[in-house]
Each structure stands twice: as structure tokens, then as C-alpha cells.
Chains A and B, each alone.
Chain A
Amino acid sequence: MLEVDQLVMSYGGFRAVDNCSLSVAEGSITGLIGPNGAGKTTLFNLVAGAFPPTSGRIRYLGEDITGLSTDRRFHLGLVRTFQIPHEFHRLTVMENLMMVPPHQAGEALLANWLTWGKVRRNEEEVHQRARETLAFLELEHVAEERAGNLSGGQKKLLELGRTMMTDARLVLLDEPAAGVNRTLLRKLEEKIAILNKERGYTFILIEHDMEMIEKLCHPVICMAEGRVLIEGDFATVRADERVLEAYLGETVGAPE
């Protein structure tokens, strides 16, 4: 579904992503691990189209999307979340979700005057979908709260919720568990598994919580110094010497 081919991203002399090649199969939950500074988030930014790579190509659903802007990639079902929550802080939680669906009737200038009925019907559908999403995430009680007032964990759930407001196919989750408490974390795992099974989302998951990686991800890719070190199932990757070395004394499995 996604093929990354010899991708390079260099900032001056520093190569954050260095000749990185990997592919992700449709329907999988691929775990992306590696020590801090391994280039995981930079790779995500490149795949999502936040900035263009220095060199290399990205193919998605068989098409070269290297030159496509972020918003165009979104319309192809390639959706991302952010490591640091990027909620719309002055919008309510409900509005945060309702703004997501593409091609809404009311997004055209003056549509609210000229094609009022169409806008209203469309809004009702979107509202309904947002309510279902909130119910799924168990966030209904904060629907009318400003998103900026949510807790860190709730913001992470909201990030996930936004991906559910569109017909996503490949979802990039950047540390969904960081800063989330244990109970909420298990809930989050559950939600991701359900979305994968029932909606057929393909996930790539950057995470430092090894328990979560072990439970959800197959395969697991370990990156170090901007490159793929090893790919395989969790046990293999965990046992690999090079992985342990890359983490350099950091105990694998220790929470961040």
C-alpha cells in the first residue's frame, strides 16, 4: 500500500532520514520503533507531505505521491495524527471533528445563503457522524468543551477521532500513547484494533510503549540514524542485537 524508496531528508549536513526504504502492507498495523532522533517523525512528515524530501520517492496505492501537498494526500485517504496534539484549541471538541470531512457543502463562500437547505442536510450528516465518533471514543461528555481545555490524553483521543471523520485508508499515528495514563492507554489500544478490523484502516504506529507495540503491531520496523535497521515480528526485533545496541543501554520496554 505504501512504498518508501530511498528517502533522504537532510537539514544542512544532518541527515534526519538517510536512504530509508520500507513498505507497508494493506490491512496491517505496522509498528515503527527506534531511539529518539532515529528519524521516525521526520519520516512521518515526509509521508504525510508536511515538507518535500531531499531525494527519494514515496508511492501510495501504486501512485507516486512525492510531489503532492498534504491536503491532497488527505483526500486520498492518507491521514496523520501529531506527536504533540494539534487540536483546534478555540473550537469545541464537536467542531474539531465536524471540520474534518472533505467537500462539505457549506465550505463554499456564500453557500450558506445560496444553497441553505443543502448545507443544512450536509451538516446534519456530519453532526451525526461526529456524535458516533465521540461515542466510540467515550468523549461525549466533553463535546461542547473547548478542545484547548481537554487533558493531554483526551487530546490524543481527539487526534484519533479526527481520522475517523473521513474515509481514511492509511493512518499515521505518532506516539498515540505518550502522556496517556494506563487505563486510557488500554482503551486506546482497543480502539485502534477495532478500527483496523472493522473499518479496515491500515496503521503505521510510532510508539515507545513496547507493550502496545507487542500487542498491536505486526510487523515491527526498527529505525536508527535515519535508516531501517530491521523489520520482523516483535520477538525477532526485540531479540536483535543491533536493536539493543541502537537503544544503547536504554532498557527496551521502559516507558518514556
Chain B
Amino acid sequence: MEWIGFANYAVYMAIFICIYALLSLGLNIQWGFTGLFNAGIAGFFAVGAYTSAVLTSPAADGRLGGFDLPFWVGWIGAMVAAALIAWPIGKICLRFRSDYLAIATIGVAEIIRLVIKSEDWLTNSARGITDIPRPLGDLPYTMSQLAYLAIVMAILLVVYLMVERQIASPWGRMMRAIRDNEDAARAMGKDVPYRRLEAFIFGSALMGLGGALFAHFNRSITPEAIDPMVATFLVWIMLILGGSGNNRGAILGVAVVWVIWSVSEIVTDQFPHEYAVKAKYLRIFLIGLMLQLVLRFRPEGLLPEASGERKPVGKTGN
């Protein structure tokens, strides 16, 4: 591969890593710190992507909007919409214990996917929404890619710092306590359902933001992008492999899995056509195998949850 093509590809991968890192951080808040088994990441991703798409794309016939608003309005809107959708879902589903919550959220994500796929007036159904503006998207290709990478990296940095600080605060301590022992947390006066709902909404808003960044990067969004394999289960694998309960682990897991996932695609694409199609399934197998190995030999992930006192805000010397 020519070096410029290689550099372009690296930038392309890095952008995806940043987007997935947002999903992974969102899931880390829900699962890693609060113990909520959300198996419907794709749903919140989709809500974010489509909300921003409708808000920022130019007016089009036959569907809602577009409203041609600035991209940042779309991104904030994406977070708000994902949070608003998460609220009733959380209200209903968080009463279930972990495995039932997983089933319920898979169902909800599927409902969202079907609504998007079939509601012409809202999402233009299978044709999807196109002409989504990308900030600094008028620059030449390489520059535009680099600019977008800078934007998503800056957003990821802000989100990472925000989540870290939230988890190091008494709020995070309370959440980890709820995760470790719900009955005891309740007996210590914590309003468990309300706090879980907070974490669920917070995490889902980040997933919505991830969806919006994806849509603007692609300049279009179609229902095919809401595939539970790549938008839900891949994120789970990333978080578990990286180390749930550790935000740096969550990001590291994204980088490792995404590099394997996309480089293996290049490899399988080199095969003759009839094998290339089959080889695609080999990639899923490869990721599954990796998950098995991690769970068997390093269940806490590459970077395990920190033990010992976090640098709390109020740490006073002993």
C-alpha cells in the first residue's frame, strides 16, 4: 500500500476508534460502574445518529426536516434525544435484574431499528438520510479527514475527563456500591432505582453522541448501520477485553478490537471473491475466540478496575 493511502487509512481507523470509544465509555458507566446490562447500544446509537441527521441535513421531501441547523445543534440534540428515549426505557426496564434487562434492551433496540427501517416520513426508511453536513467537510479529502479526527479526539478527551471525574466523585462511589450489593446500598439509604436511571441516561446520551459523530463522518445514515453485531456486541467485547470499570481500559479495548476488526477485513478482502464472503464470518469467529481467551485467562480485562482509593477530590493526607 502506498504510504499516503496507508496514512489515510490510519486516520480513518482513528476516527472510528474515537467514535467507538464514546460508545464504550457510555457502556462503562452503565455496566462497568453501575452493573446495568444494556444490550441495546445500537438503539441509542441510532437515535443519536438519526436525530442529528434530521436536525442538520437540508430540507428534503417525504420525510421530517431536515432543518439545516448547525452541526453542534445536531450533536447536542442527539444526546438529548438519546437521553429522552432512555428515560422511559429505563423507568420500565431497570426494574428487571441484569439478564432480563439485557433481553429487554435487545428488544428495544430492535424496535428502534424496525421503526427507522419502516417509517418513511421520519427517517426515509431504507434509503436513509443523506447530505448530512460534516464540519470542515469542504476541505480537500485528507485535510477534511484530519480535521474531523481532531474534532472527535477533542470531544473524546472532554468526555473521558468528564466520566473520570464523575466516577471519582461520591456519585461514582455510590454507583459502584450499588453494583456490588444492591440490597446493602438500599439499606444504606440510597435510592437505587433513581440512581440507576441516572447512570442509564448518562451512558445512553454518550451513545447517542457516538451515533451522531458517526452519521456526520459518513455524511449519511441508513438502517444498515444499526447492526446489533457491530453497534452492540462489538462494543461489549471492546469493554470486556479492555477492562470494564476502567475508563482507560474501555478506550484501549476499543483500539485493540477495532484494529483487529478492520485489518482482518483488509486481509479477507484479498481472498478470491467466493472465499472473501465466507472469510467475513471468520472475523466474527476471531473476535469471539479472543473474547473467550480473555474471559478464560484475564477476566478482569487488559486494564482492570483500579483497586484502592481513587484519587478522590477530597483526599486528605493520612
Question: A: which residues have CB within 8 A of B?
Answer: 48, 50, 69-71, 74-75, 79-80, 82, 86-92, 94-96, 98-100, 102, 104-113, 116, 119-124, 126-128, 131, 144, 146, 162, 166
Contacts and interface: CB of A to CB of B under 8 A. Distances in A.
Contacts of A98: 170, 173
A112 B169 contact: yes
Contacts of B179: 90
B177 A88 contact: yes
B192 A112 contact: no
B171 A106 contact: yes
Contact of B187 (A79, A102, A128, A131): A79
Given A99-B174, A106-B171, 17 more contacts: A48-B187, A74-B188, A80-B187, A87-B181, A88-B176, A88-B180, A88-B184, A92-B309, A95-B177, A96-B177, A99-B188, A100-B189, A109-B171, A109-B198, A112-B313, A128-B316, A146-B308
B166 A91 contact: no
Contacts of B245: 90
A123 B171 contact: no
A131 B314 CA distance: 13
B181 A119 contact: no
Nearest to A104: B170
Contacts of A82: 183-184, 187
Shortest 5 CB-CB contacts between residues of A and residues of B: A123-B314, A106-B170, A74-B189, A86-B184, A112-B169
Overall SS of chain B's interface: helix
Contacts of B176: 88, 90-91, 95
A144 B170 CA distance: 16
A202 B38 CA distance: 43
14 contacts: A71-B186, A71-B192, A74-B188, A82-B183, A86-B183, A90-B305, A107-B170, A109-B166, A111-B169, A112-B166, A122-B170, A127-B315, A144-B308, A146-B307
Interface in B278-318: 305, 307-309, 312-316, 318
Nearest to A72: B189
A116 B313 contact: yes
B171 A86 contact: no
B165 interface: yes
A124 B188 CA distance: 20
B184 A105 contact: no
Contact of B189 (A90, A95, A128, A166): A166
B224 interface: no
Contacts of A144: 308-309
